[in-house]
Structure 1
Amino acid sequence: MDTATATAAAPRRRPVRPRADALRNRERIVAAAREMFVEHGSDVPLDEVARRAGVGNATVYRHFADRDELVRQVVLSVTGRVAVLAEEGIAAADADADAAFGALRTFVHAAADERIGALCPMLQAGFDPNHPDLLDARERLERSIEGLMGRARAAGQLRADIAVGDLMVALSQLTRPLPGTACPSMDRFVHRHLQLFMDGLMAPARSELPGEAATLRDLREH
């Protein structure tokens, strides 16, 4: 039998899939890390993350080579969840154009509950924002939020001088205080203030905004 025939005859190896319990442990670690990063910042000891997740220290390091990898996975998790929320908003707006701004409002409140503003302090020195996975996730997030805002704008319900960056700045600011601060009780005001902000986005606009609309590129560059 020649080499080509032998190669063709050789059984293909199926890719090894992670076991279900391993996947559950990984998800629990990411969820615990997300909670603790929000509460205490991304410098929280990984031993504490393991304890919150209900796994051993060795399990954390088996799934994540170092802190940077765990932080990246938390960012990917939050970014992915928020993108799904925006995509659900697009589907709702497509089903009923009159409900486009309502879908945007629902998205903003849901994104606040994901504590998307807590991503900012994670993106510190040593964090690679240009990792391929992060670039893909960011593109999906930006595309989905822009799509949702575009539908509300096309329906004449969103003022024309607002861009995605303006929305993200508000979400970032209003989902604070920053991790590790002594003002956790401020959380009870988040949705109240978000509602005020969203009312200000409705068309027709009652005033002319100073400056220019903020794009996501503006936020990344500054």
Structure 2
Amino acid sequence: MGSRPLRADAQRNRDLLLAAAARVFAERGTEAPLDDVARRAGVGNATMYRHFPTRSDLLAAVYADEVAQLCARADSLRSTEPPAEALHDWLRLFMDHITSKRDLALAVTDDSTLHADWHRSMLDTASGLLDEAKRAGAVRADLDVRDLLTLIKGISLAATDRPQAERLLSLVNWT
């Protein structure tokens, strides 16, 4: 038996909580007081705990939302850019995601299935973009999506700042 869709007001409160939590965690870290999240969302603590009974539930929901947004950006890039540029721009977004969401991802420790689902979503998104760029003849045919994501992750974690990450990324021979 599947869960029922939320009422409109409940969905609005959930969305407000996710947006507020993303901002609070980005500003103050994943250990920020949950009262701050409820206050920023403009809802009471009881409403927050009804939607997210534990900090871990809230962290997982926020990160899942971040991954969904990252993957959804691929569709807008596909519709506005040639395949190689869509791939490159999404990989830059992926790089930004790794550097800015790392603490959030590491804070979600309760469920390895969730991590696997998120990795699969990002891998599938990157794979689709890479395949389109290959079909267009815009990137090397021997590029492997797992190698590409590992490379971007390595750059993201090794670079001291965004300009250095961009310089390192520019060294990659895509064609």
With structure 1 as the length reference, what TM-score do the two structures score?
0.62
Question: 1:43 aligns to what SS in structure 2?
Answer: coil
The equivalent position to 1:148 in structure 2, one of 122, 125, 129, is: 129
Residues 35 and 167 (structure 1), Cα distance of their counterparts in 2 relative to 1, 3 Å cut = same
* Number of the residue aligned with 1:100: 83
The equivalent position to 2:139 in structure 1, one of 130, 137, 157, is: 157
Q: Is the Cα contact below 8 Å between 1:86 and 1:148 reproduced in 2?
A: yes
Letter paired with 1:152? A
With structure 2 as the length reference, what TM-score do the two structures score?
0.76
Measured in 2, the distance between the counterparts of 1:32 and 1:172 equals 26
Deviation at 1:32, TM superposition (A): 1.1
* Number of the residue aligned with 1:196: 167
Letter paired with 1:137? W
Matched, 1:118 2:89: no
* Number of the residue aligned with 1:9: none
* Number of the residue aligned with 2:10: 22
Higher fraction of helix: 2
Letter paired with 2:116? L
Deviation track 1:102-161 (CA, whole Å, cap 9, x = no partner) reads 112332444466x44333223447712423x54333312111112223433552435848
Residues 42 and 173 (structure 1), Cα distance of their counterparts in 2 relative to 1, 3 Å cut = farther
Deviation at 1:54, TM superposition (A): 1.4
Deviation at 1:79, TM superposition (A): 0.8
Letter paired with 2:47? T
| Contiguous gaps of at least 5 residues in structure 2 | none
Greater C-alpha Rg: 1
Measured in 1, the distance between the counterparts of 2:26 and 2:14 equals 18
Measured in 2, the distance between the counterparts of 1:148 and 1:69 equals 31
Letter paired with 1:128? D
| Aligned alpha-carbon RMSD (Å) | 3.2
Identity of aligned residues (%): 27
Question: 1:152 aligns to what SS in structure 2?
Answer: helix
Letter paired with 1:200? L
Deviation track 1:177-211 (CA, whole Å, cap 9, x = no partner) reads xxxxxxxxxxxx73x5554344323445xxxxxxx
Measured in 1, the distance between the counterparts of 2:51 and 2:39 equals 15
